A and B are shown apart, each in its own frame.
Chain A
Amino acid sequence: MLEIKPIIHSLVRSKAGAVLLILQIAITLAIVSNSLSIIKDRLEYLNKDTGYPEKDVFYITTNVFAVDTELLYLIEETEKTLRGMDGVVNASYMSDVPLSGSGSASSFGNKPMDQDEEKGYLSARTGQSNAGSQVFDTLGLVLKEGRLFNETEVLKIDGARELPQKVVVTQDYINEVYPEGNGVGQFIYIGNTPVEIIGVVERAMGAWPSDEAALNYSIFPYVGASTSQKFVVRAASGMRETVMKEVEDILLAQFNERVIMNVQGFDDAKKEYQASDILMLRMLVILIALLVSITALGIFGMTVFNINKRTKQIGTRRALGARKADIVRYFLVENSILCIAGMTLGAIGAIYLGQILFEHYSVPAFSKAYIVYTAVFILSVSILSVLFPANKAANISPSIATRSV
């Protein structure tokens, strides 16, 4: 009933056009399915939960240039000023700001450094920051186990550095060094110096969202005197814009021998850090949209041409008793045959392209499911683009066939 045999015969007679369409469909399938796979990977990364109320939190960097300033006192006063602002929920000093793309990281183990060859030695890299006790409330971190540190436990050091004695870490990090779940109250070691893990927070992302260990994070109760000082501030919902606008003037009014810079929301900091990924995502989406429309246009154009070329044949078929539906079906079946051939070729190409990309670039392994999704999509688009010219063909009057040659 589907008249497959005559269709194939006629396709074989005009090979070139058919081959081109098949190739076009094949390449489209290969590119679109691979792009979808990359897009999905990027979306997952971009939407990964950071653990912070990003829309309410922002940070500021201040650089003090005054001579002989009591830097520790200034930090305290700045925190107080920030907390006193209208619309501010809480504020805290931090040595390194999460999501900002700049920070520090180290590997700490569950045993002293000199025992690193012993059995049961585990160590993992973690992002780290020093901070005051209000940092947890400011960043909206959720305590899971143990306790948070209070202000009296915070080491305030002006001069040669000292090592902190306590730390609060994330669940992800403690899982790596104390996988049995008995980590709270135990120690991690900075070199050979033990630091007690007093609490675990559910989730907090470090300075680099793209890091594979992005959710390993440690916060030390420590404030070091330095001319470059950073603060994180949490505003009441919807108040952040206003607070961010006023903050520079208010801080300069409190102490003016410093520069206030990088007043930036957490969501914007993250967006800036991920800008190239967002760009890639957009480019791929545009590429897919254009590609599919070009292929659809190609199918449309080819069908129109086929119909023009075969006007007489179609008229003859109609004169011999073919119904309009038969004519439409003829073109649909022809298109489907081309699509299926193209997709078979395209599927092989997609897998091959996926492999090349996987081997040479840091893109995720290609899942074959995307071929199926894309194939279904392309088939529907191609059917849609055949329908219109096919209907036009079906309206060719049988009398055409009987007109003079």
Chain B
Amino acid sequence: MFFHYIDLSWRSFKRTPLITLLMVVAIAIGIGVTMMSLSVYHMMSMDPMPHKSDKVHPVQLNTRDDGSDWWSKDDLPQQITYQDAVNLYRADIPAIKTPSYRTGYSLHLGDDNIKPFIESVRVTGLPFFQIFDIEFVEGQPWTQQQENNAEMVTVISRALSERLFGKESGLGQQVYYDQHLFRIIGIFDNFDHHIKYYDLTNGDFSKHEHAFIPFSLTEPLKINNWGNTNGWKFQEIRTFEDKLQSEQHWVQFWVQLDNKEQYQDYHGFLNNYLIEQEAKGRFEREEPAFAMRNLTEWLDYNDVVTEDNRVLVAMSFMFLSVCLANILGLLLGKFLKRVPEIGVRRALGASKRDVFAQHIVEVSMLGVFGGILGVGLAQLGLWGVRATYSYYSELATMDLTMFFSAPIIAMTACILAGLFPAYLVCKTNPAICLKTQ
């Protein structure tokens, strides 16, 4: 019967091509607009590490006086001070933990073969590679020993290695970061996630760093951070040493806690740490304030999905509903006009259910056509976004989930729109229809 219904629908489309086209275009535009904003939303709200996002936590400490406010929802700064970072990193407590911040250098090889260029460089501890599952293609991260000795070693991405050394392996080679000579001891696979989830302070979708160096080099090399530095009280900072001892927040701190006990222990540890620090007179607070969100909560807290995008998603669904109302009206007219024909079918023995099924098949077909055309329109729109706005180039794409959900959403929408007209059609009494003929 199903194929017979498809045949009937096809005939019906051919009988009223203009109206059919109108409906398909309406659903296509509705789906196109909705899928476009939904795709961007989907890419923005994606969990970057689904297997462990509940175990990875950024540490936020409020080492400010009571009453100093901050832009975040709970007045907690997103970064911590250098002294806290060092203390937490050294603390003897079972947890995989690391400080991290961004800097940058002019990279060159000390000869004329490659024109020097600027790269962002991440300064971090060895556990960073474990927490964020960074895979090495060649070599490995620096050892704890090397980090403790503040050795001039670095790991770089495959892309950077290719840029510096071409096809030749970069492993074991030397590279200048400004005037400092570093030895490359590991090459990692390029990041493939579009959200820069380990550092949201300089653009949530900014490019990932291609080079890492040990955190212990901060003091000997007097590394200045590239990124936000936020103070809350006036301190005269003239030298690099002043900055390290200051109350300025500029270091991110991550901790991975594998189970509940570890989480509780670490929670208690942070509480005690803050009480201790307050006792030293660094700040005045009634209650220690800190947070250890998990990764998904963290993305949410930092508004990675922009407001504009939420507004657009809401508006496009309203837009889709307008398209549906439109189709509903057209279907109503179309189906009711066909009542006499239905009367004949009913009189010849078709049950209400058969008639209903026939009409649902017809609207589903509309949905499929509209959905396919809609995906095309959405792709066109996304292409437009990518072409005009390079920052969005990774986001304005449709992944497979979205690609396949488009026709399904379109079909569901069409069936919803078709339910009422189909119901009206099969409710009509066959006798009356026959009589009027």
**What residues of chain A have their CB less than 8 Å away from a CB belonging to chain B?**
16-17, 20-21, 23-24, 27-28, 30-31, 35, 38, 63-67, 113, 160-162, 190-191, 227, 257-259, 261, 272, 275-280, 282-284, 286-287, 290-291, 294-295, 297-298, 301-302, 304-306, 308-309, 357, 361-363
A235 to chain B, nearest CB (A): 24
Taking a contact as CB atoms under 8 Å apart, the answer to whether B237 and A161 are in contact is yes
Known interface pairs A20-B332, A64-B106, A301-B22; 16 further A-B residue pairs with C-beta atoms within 8 A, sorted by A's residue number = A21-B329, A23-B325, A24-B326, A31-B318, A257-B116, A258-B116, A272-B391, A277-B308, A279-B385, A279-B388, A284-B315, A290-B29, A294-B323, A295-B322, A298-B329, A301-B329
B19 within 8 A of A: yes
User: 1/0 contact trace for B299-337 toward A, CB 8 Å?
Assistant: 000000011101110011011011101101110111011
Given contacts A261-B118, A287-B319, contact A294 B37 (CB under 8 A): no
Given contacts A28-B322, A297-B26, contact A63 B330 (CB under 8 A): no
Taking a contact as CB atoms under 8 Å apart, the answer to whether B333 and A309 are in contact is yes
A304 to B303 CA separation, bound complex (whole angstroms): 48
Taking a contact as CB atoms under 8 Å apart, the answer to whether B106 and A294 are in contact is no
A306 to B333 CA separation, bound complex (whole angstroms): 8
Taking a contact as CB atoms under 8 Å apart, the answer to whether A302 and B333 are in contact is yes
Taking a contact as CB atoms under 8 Å apart, the answer to whether A302 and B330 are in contact is yes
A138 to B434 CA separation, bound complex (whole angstroms): 87
B260 to chain A, nearest CB (A): 34
A291 partner, pick from B104, B234, B319, B392, beta carbons under 8 A: B319
With a cutoff of 8 Å between Cβ atoms, the chain A residues found around residue B113 in the complex are: none
Main SS class of interface, B: helix
With a cutoff of 8 Å between Cβ atoms, the chain A residues found around residue B192 in the complex are: none
Ranked nearest first, the 6 interchain pairs of A and B with the lowest CB-CB distance are: A305-B333, A298-B326, A65-B106, A160-B238, A65-B178, A20-B329
Taking a contact as CB atoms under 8 Å apart, the answer to whether B319 and A31 are in contact is yes
Taking a contact as CB atoms under 8 Å apart, the answer to whether B116 and A65 are in contact is yes
B105 within 8 A of A: yes
A279 partner, pick from B117, B311, B392, beta carbons under 8 A: B392
- When C-beta atoms are compared, the residue in chain B nearest to A298 turns out to be B326
B321 partner, pick from A27, A191, A257, beta carbons under 8 A: A27
Taking a contact as CB atoms under 8 Å apart, the answer to whether B388 and A294 are in contact is no
B389 within 8 A of A: yes
A45 to B66 CA separation, bound complex (whole angstroms): 35
CB contact list, B1-37 vs A, under 8 A: 19, 22, 25-26, 29-30, 33, 37
With a cutoff of 8 Å between Cβ atoms, the chain A residues found around residue B104 in the complex are: 63
With a cutoff of 8 Å between Cβ atoms, the chain A residues found around residue B178 in the complex are: 63, 65, 227
With a cutoff of 8 Å between Cβ atoms, the chain A residues found around residue B316 in the complex are: 287
A402 to B326 CA separation, bound complex (whole angstroms): 34
What are 21 of the A-B contact pairs (CB < 8 Å)? A16-B329, A24-B329, A35-B315, A65-B105, A65-B178, A66-B179, A160-B239, A161-B239, A162-B238, A257-B116, A276-B391, A278-B388, A278-B389, A279-B392, A280-B308, A287-B312, A290-B319, A298-B326, A301-B329, A305-B330, A361-B307
- When C-beta atoms are compared, the residue in chain B nearest to A191 turns out to be B234
Taking a contact as CB atoms under 8 Å apart, the answer to whether A280 and B312 are in contact is yes
With a cutoff of 8 Å between Cβ atoms, the chain A residues found around residue B29 in the complex are: 290, 294
A280 to B307 CA separation, bound complex (whole angstroms): 11
With a cutoff of 8 Å between Cβ atoms, the chain A residues found around residue B118 in the complex are: 63, 259, 261
A301 to B336 CA separation, bound complex (whole angstroms): 15
A383 to chain B, nearest CB (A): 18
Interface size on B, residues (CB 8 A): 54
A363 to B234 CA separation, bound complex (whole angstroms): 34
Taking a contact as CB atoms under 8 Å apart, the answer to whether B325 and A298 are in contact is yes
Taking a contact as CB atoms under 8 Å apart, the answer to whether A65 and B176 are in contact is yes
Taking a contact as CB atoms under 8 Å apart, the answer to whether B310 and A67 are in contact is no
Taking a contact as CB atoms under 8 Å apart, the answer to whether A283 and B325 are in contact is no
B330 to chain A, nearest CB (A): 5
B92 within 8 A of A: no
A298 to B319 CA separation, bound complex (whole angstroms): 13
Taking a contact as CB atoms under 8 Å apart, the answer to whether B238 and A276 are in contact is no
Taking a contact as CB atoms under 8 Å apart, the answer to whether B19 and A301 are in contact is yes
With a cutoff of 8 Å between Cβ atoms, the chain A residues found around residue B385 in the complex are: 279
B383 within 8 A of A: no
With a cutoff of 8 Å between Cβ atoms, the chain A residues found around residue B70 in the complex are: none
A292 to chain B, nearest CB (A): 10
Taking a contact as CB atoms under 8 Å apart, the answer to whether A20 and B328 are in contact is yes
B111 within 8 A of A: no
Taking a contact as CB atoms under 8 Å apart, the answer to whether A290 and B33 are in contact is yes
With a cutoff of 8 Å between Cβ atoms, the chain B residues found around residue A227 in the complex are: 178
B137 to chain A, nearest CB (A): 27
